[in-house]
Amino acid sequence: MNDAVNTDRWIRWLNTVQLVIAGVLIMAPTIWMVLSSFKPSFEVTAYPPTLMFSPTLENYAELTRTTPFLSYALNSLIVTVGSTALGLLFGIPAAFAVSWTRITWPAILTLAARMAPGTLFLLPWYVMFRQIGMIGSYTALILSHAVITLPIVIWVLLPSFDAIPRSVFEAAQVDGCSVTRILWRIAIPLVASGVAVSAILAFVFSWNYFLFALVLSNGDTKTLIAAAFNFIGEGSTQWGALMAAATLIALPPLVLAALVQRWLVSGLTLGAVKG
Amino acid sequence: MASISIRNLTKRYGNFTVIPDLNLEIADHEFVVFVGPSGCGKSTLLRIIAGLEPISGGDLYIGDKRVNGVQAAQRDIAMVFQDYALYPHMRVYDNMSFALELRGTPKAEIDARVKRAAALLHIEPYLDRKPKELSGGQRQRVAMGRAIVRNPKAFLFDEPLSNLDAKLRGQVRAEIKALSQQLKTTMVFVTHDQIEAMTMADRIVVLQSGTIQQYDTPETVYERPANQFVAGFIGSPAMNFFAVEWREERAILSQGGNAVPLDGETAGRLRQAGNAVIGIRPEHFAVAADAADGIAINVKLVEPLGSDTLIHFDLAGASSIARVDPALRPKVGDRLTLRPQPGKTHLFDSTNGQVLR
């Protein structure tokens, strides 16, 4: 009896330690980034790092002074919203079709595309978009980012669609629904939280994706994350401004995730257990 | 309202044939029950009628229209599913009105039809609730309501009572039967429960391995089964079977050698066949006073049911059951003499199980 209580206590203690380690590993760089963005530039790279300092907005001022930050933010927003919308537009029917027909290879193909290194797409896309004069256009960026968003939407929604009893769709068929109407009137409302989760995840991944924007954008369409790269110079790096940019870039996904946190967890486990 | 006609229908999944060649005519307004063991093809047949499964061969007519390639949505039939298949995100009212809305029925008419069906099924208080807020029985009624409001050509029921507890099952069974008499619509009901089949059907289709074994009224299926499979499947407890031979001008059990007293007509048929399988329902045994008048058995188990009592005994190597008068108060170990009631025994061909008439 006592042994069991002791083992239980040990397991709980180990769990706590693991969670603390994981928390520190995940949060430390974020906290470092936020603190550094408020440090005077000479203190950002000081060693050992200072925890007590007089906070300043100097880095944020530098950021807005030297770069058209708002314009880059708008570019990021256009590309992210566009590619998320595109991902949802094609991903929702695709996930439904895979679930309906039980033909899984298209979904596996999109996953393979997502897992492939981004550099694999760069050259063909660069050549292709240059040929049709679309380098630097929002369309090229939105289309390329759909490689990020589409598999996320499909794979988050697939278990949710699978979890809907087949008979519900069959009842709708007998009631007079076409497949399109079943998707629109029955399936999508039933996986609404899954759709929200997939949209948020697609948004976050697209917002943070760096490589395609670096190569396929131009000065007018550069996204925030690609623009932030400008602070890393050959001779010197403006760490303070870079940290300020990184902090601002991280804000929208963080706010979004915090707002829908409860949905996010339930949505990710949606479809795991049939209710 | 319409008849359903199935002609030379086959259904295959790859190389596996579920229904080899099936012909069936269901008359307008008729209540037909498909019954059979698991895997006999009864649900597949229902789903084919609904348009949820394609046909591999043959023809299907609903009314005068051949509907082989017609989608479920265009067949104008309603179906009640085993798990009810209500739309979880819609209120009861919307579940019921959905099909009418799809057909562009005017709002006032939708409202009138939903309320009429709700009144008929006593679900008016639940119209604003979501399915998850209802009990199993209430969901079952909503599923029926969803079918009724459409006023379809035919109703299809796929084992709709199997998720209900025994008491509710009996109640809903009676309600469906009453409903069928009120609505006067063609109804096809699938079940593996022969009591449901017997109590509800105008005619029963007994299926085995995708083949119709018998298609007749419940009374005929019970009293004059076409073969040993039907005889064993319909009736509870099941019919007792014994191998029997005609020897020395008597019917003798092949195993054990007991003589079985038979009426003249049955004896004549056995004499002609030489040997057969005799089928006797538990309720068609009579207890004889004289040991010379029947078959002596030892009571192995007693099941008092109140209205009557079941006694279990071993005879000719088979575990057998007889239904006797509870006033007899049989006890385990008692020695009784049983004799089949005249005219109530069935003889089946020993080789193919077909009834010998």
CA dihedral (A207, A211, A217, A218) positive or negative: positive
pLDDT tier for residue A272 given thresholds of 50, 70 and 90: very low
Q: What is the pLDDT of residue B199?
A: 92
Pick A186's closest partner by Cβ from B72, B75, B87.
Answer: B87
A62-118 pLDDT, tens digit each: 888 888 888 999 999 999 999 999 999 999 999 999 999 988 898 888 888 888 888
Cα–Cα distance for residue pair A220/A233, rounded to 1 Å:
20
Q: Mean pLDDT over residues A142-166, rounded? A: 93
Residue scoring higher pLDDT (B272 or B293):
B272
**pLDDT at B160 > cutoff 70:** yes
Instruction: Name chain B contacts of A270, Cβ cutoff 8 Å.
Output: none
Q: Considering CB atoms only, which of B71, B88, B98 is closest to A175?
A: B98
The three-state (H, E, C) secondary structure of chain A, written as one string: CHHHHHHHHHHHHHHHHHHHHHHHHHHHHHHHHHHHHCCCHHHHCCCCCCCCCCCCCHHHHHHHHHCCHHHHHHHHHHHHHHHHHHHHHHHHHHHHHHHHHCCCHHHHHHHHHHHCCCHHHHHHHHHHHHHCCCCCCHHHHHHHHHHHHHHHHHHHHHHHHHHCCHHHHHHHHHHCCCHHHHHHHHHHHHCHHHHHHHHHHHHHHHHHCCHHHHHHCCCCCCCHHHHHHHHECCCCECHHHHHHHHHHHHHHHHHHHHHCHHHHHHHHCCCCCCC
Residue pairs between chains A and B whose CB atoms are closer than 8 Å: 58
Which residue shows structure tokens 């936020």? Answer: A34
Tell me the mean pLDDT in the region B305-327. Answer: 94
* Residue whose entry in the numeric block shows the structure tokens 């470092």: A32
- pLDDT classification of A51: cutoffs 50, 70, 90: confident
pLDDT value, residue A233: 65
pLDDT tens-digit profile of B171-230? 888 888 888 888 889 999 999 998 899 999 999 999 999 999 999 999 999 999 999 999
* pLDDT, chain A, mean: 87
**A268 has pLDDT over 70:** no
Q: Is the CB of residue A167 less than 8 Å away from at least one CB of chain B? A: yes
- CA angle B60–B63–B65, rounded 5-degree value: 60
pLDDT at B299 over 90: yes
- Asked if A171's CB is within 8 angstroms of B87's CB, the reply is yes
Place of tokens 């007018």: A220
Give strand pairing partners of B17: B12
pTM of the model: 0.82
CB < 8 Å to B89, chain A: 189-190
Tell me the average pLDDT across A160-181: 94
Among candidate residues B248, B223, B108, B78, the one with its CA nearest the CA of residue A172 = B78
pLDDT at A58 over 60: yes
Per-residue pLDDT, averaged over B128-157, amounts to: 93
**Amino acid identity at B37:** P
pLDDT score, position A273: 37
What is the predicted pLDDT for the residue at A275? 35
- Of B50, B52, B85, nearest to A168 by CB-CB distance is B85
Give per-residue pLDDT as tens, B25-69.
999 999 999 999 999 999 999 999 999 999 999 999 999 999 999
Query: Residue A12 pLDDT more than 70?
Result: yes
Inspect the interface and report whether the beta carbons of B73 and A167 lie closer than 8 Å. no
Residue of B nearest to A191 (CA): B89
B51 to A177: CB separation less than 8 angstroms, yes or no:
no
DSSP state at residue B227: B
**Minimum mean pLDDT range among A148-162, A185-199, B156-170, B329-343:** B156-170
What pLDDT, on the 0 to 100 scale, is given for residue A265? 66
Whether residue B117 is predicted with pLDDT greater than 50 in this model: the reply is: yes
- 3-state SS, A219-241, equals CCCCCHHHHHHHHECCCCECHHH
CA distances from B230 to A146, B216, B227, B348, B349 (A): 61, 11, 6, 11, 14
B59 phi-psi bin (left φ>0, alpha ψ -120 to 50, beta other): beta
**Cα angle, residue B83 at apex, residues B37 and B102 outer, rounded to 5°:** 120
B353 or A104, which is more confident?
Answer: B353
> Does A180 lie at the interface with B, CB-CB under 8 angstroms?
no
Residue contact A168–B50, C-beta within 8 A: no
**For position A274, what pLDDT does the model report?**
34
Q: Give A47's pLDDT tier (boundaries 50, 70, 90).
A: confident
Quick one: pLDDT at residue A55?
A: 87
C-alpha B94: how far from chain center: 33
Q: Chain B: which residues have CB within 8 Å of chain A?
A: 50-52, 71-75, 77-79, 81-83, 85-89, 98-99, 102-103, 146, 150
- Percentage, residues of chain A above pLDDT 90: 48
Question: Is residue A168 less than 8 Å (CB to CB) from chain B?
Answer: yes
pLDDT at B82 > cutoff 70: yes
Task: Please give the share of chain B, as a percent, with pLDDT higher than 70.
Answer: 100
Say yes or no to pLDDT of B163 above 90: no
- The H-assigned helical ranges of chain B are 42-50, 92-102, 107-120, 136-148, 166-183, 194-200, 218-223, 228-233, 264-273
Give how far A205 is from chain B: nearest CA, Å: 30
- Interface with chain A: mutation pick from B98, B132, B151, highest number of A CBs within 10 Å: B98
> Whole-angstrom Cα distance, residue B5 to residue B62?
6
Instruction: Tell which of B43, B67, B70, B79 to mutate to test the A interface (max A CBs under 10 Å).
Output: B79
What integer pLDDT is reported at residue A234 of this predicted model? 63
Reported as a pLDDT band with limits 50, 70 and 90, residue A267 is low
pLDDT at residue B164, rounded to an integer? 82
Average of per-residue pLDDT values in chain B: 93
CA distances to A72, B193, B297 from A41, rounded to whole Å, are 23, 82, 105
Q: What is the mean pLDDT of residues A178-191?
A: 94
**A171 with B88: Cβ contact below 8 A:** no
Residue of B nearest to A179 (CA): B73
Closest residue in B to A165 (Cα–Cα): B85
- Supply the pLDDT for residue A271: 43
